[in-house]
Amino acid sequence: MFCREQVAQLRDRIEDIRDRGAEVAVIGNGAPQFAAAFADELEFDGRLLTDPDLVSYRAAGLRRGRAAALSPRLPLNAARALLDGHRQKAIQGDPWQLGGVFVIRPEGQLTFRHVSREAGDHPRVDDVLAALSESAPALAEGEAAPGFLAAGIGRTLSLFADPTIVLSFSRPGFQLHSLRFDPRDLDVDLAGRRCLVTGANSGLGFETALALADLGAEVVMLCRSLERGEEAAEEIRRRTGSPRVEVAKVDLASFDSVRRAAAELADSRADVLVHNAGLLPAGRVETPDGLELTFAVHVAGPHLMTRLLAPRLARSADARVVWVSSGGMYAKSLELEDPQWRDREYDGVAAYAETKRAQVVLADLWAEELGERGVVVNSMHPGWADTPGVETSIPGFHKLTRPILRTPAEGADTIVWLAASRAGRRRTASFFLDREARCKHYLPFTREREADRRALWQMCERLTAE
């Protein structure tokens, strides 16, 4: 209904547009026969082109994804379109791809640019007509409406919402924080960059790999199961039209597996490394290397992988490492006395939170280690996201909070922002939520000493040494 609405609005003013010496060209992402039927139905006599591979969409920096398309404003946009008689009879192409409107002069100057924030977000046709005037100024590269009012409202309301935790970590928190987002941040082309994402076959990892591929990056999905990884990779190829998505096998609970994977990756470039893989076992499991499973997957395995891929990362002109932690780490201090849970009664949730605290500390230490080589290292937490891991590992929490959980794409947004945007490399050794650096400690007893931080580093170096 939304593309019908936009095209109909332009169709109704097409004579005004042509009187200004311009022409309307519509680019869709469906099949040519669907586009022809669409034009006939709307009686649209402008140019209608098709781009099923979304090449022009990516080049224009248009947004996609469920988080972008399914915004809280969607019901209002849908009601407006339906009342105006715009009903979409069928959908072809990518249903999650958003559009935009551009006014381009013959010499290539851009005088108007509107990138839809969600389905049904269209510009006023009068604004398009104004941009056709001979006196309309050309936009500077990357220029866009900053949305100062929305950002100010978001920042003010966050002062009250964030201390409640629930209103910060939940989906309402993301929607509130996103008022401050600059849509230009992810108007980037990642062609030529190679991004490695662990745990990429589902949840946050899948959404991260999907978004990076959609921005043009070559993506390597590092998965424990090649079968599940390949199924996810095929879905990403289908959605993005990008063939540059591959799968490599790695089990972060096994040092041998990490070393084999790193050796296979050593001959190719590495620009981004995302430590996303995670788990929350119900009982204590010991790995073949003698480590508690959560510690191995969240801490020791990623530390070893970073160590082995560091030379490749250092060769990149813009290398990033992102550690995906959790807000649960706020309740825990750095555990050094019994990190393997040999002397304590096992608590899976506590073990998870402790290793997430360790990830934040390790990210800071790796930022120091790789800083002189130009590698930016940060950690983040995704808020409360509705992922398969949350549903299976903490079903009670999932059942209670499901109505307010973020989508996986919303949880992954800051991972993608840190990995891809220019703004994401302005800071290192920081901890982010919703594209903003946050404090790493809310409770005094969770603060670690510098000696504790060094002890964690030495422990990881000792455990992962051959």
Are residues 185 and 125 both part of a single domain? no
**Which range of residues forms the domain containing residue 52?**
2-131
3 state DSSP class of 136? coil
Angle between helices 2-12 and 74-83 (to 10 degrees): 50
Residue 78 in any domain: the answer is yes
Residue 312 in any domain: the answer is yes
List the one residue out of 440, 292, 436 whose CA is nearest residue 357: 440
Quote the pTM value: 0.74
The CA distance from 158 to 177, in Å, is 7
Count H helices and E strands in the chain, helices first: 20, 12
The predicted-structure confidence for 53-111, as pLDDT tens digits, reads as follows 676 776 677 766 554 444 555 555 555 444 555 445 544 455 666 788 888 888 778 88
The predicted-structure confidence for 21-40, as pLDDT tens digits, reads as follows 888 888 877 667 666 776 67
Residue 359 and residue 302 in contact, taking contact as beta carbons nearer than 8 Å? yes
Residue 459 in any domain: the answer is yes
Are residues 121 and 202 both part of a single domain? no
Residue 410 has pLDDT above 80, yes or no: yes
- Asked which of 95, 113, 131 is the last residue of a domain, the reply is 131
- Asked which of 96, 112, 131 is the last residue of a domain, the reply is 131
Mean local confidence (pLDDT), 223-245: 96
Residue 82 in any domain: the answer is yes
- Asked which of 73, 103, 131 is the last residue of a domain, the reply is 131
Both structure tokens of 153: 């409202």
Beta-carbon count within 10 A of 101 CB = 20
Phi–psi pair at 376, nearest 5 degrees = -95, 130
Are residues 349 and 215 both part of a single domain? yes
Q: Is 330 a catalytic residue?
A: no
Are residues 313 and 376 both part of a single domain? yes
Among 115-129, 360-374, 428-442, the range scoring the smallest mean pLDDT is 115-129
Total domain count, the chain: 2
3 state DSSP class of 400? helix
Q: Given 330, 346, 352, 442, which residue is catalytic?
A: 352
Are residues 250 and 363 both part of a single domain? yes
The CA distance from 231 to 243, in Å, is 14
The CA distance from 43 to 26, in Å, is 13
C-alpha pair distances (Å), 224 with each of 319, 409, 463: 24, 21, 21
Both structure tokens of 412: 């992954």
Residue 144 in any domain: the answer is no
Mean local confidence (pLDDT), 268-284: 97
Are residues 248 and 120 both part of a single domain? no
Residue 322 in any domain: the answer is yes
CATH number at residue 385: 3.40.50.720
Residue 144 has pLDDT above 50, yes or no: no
- Tokens 């620009």 correspond to 271
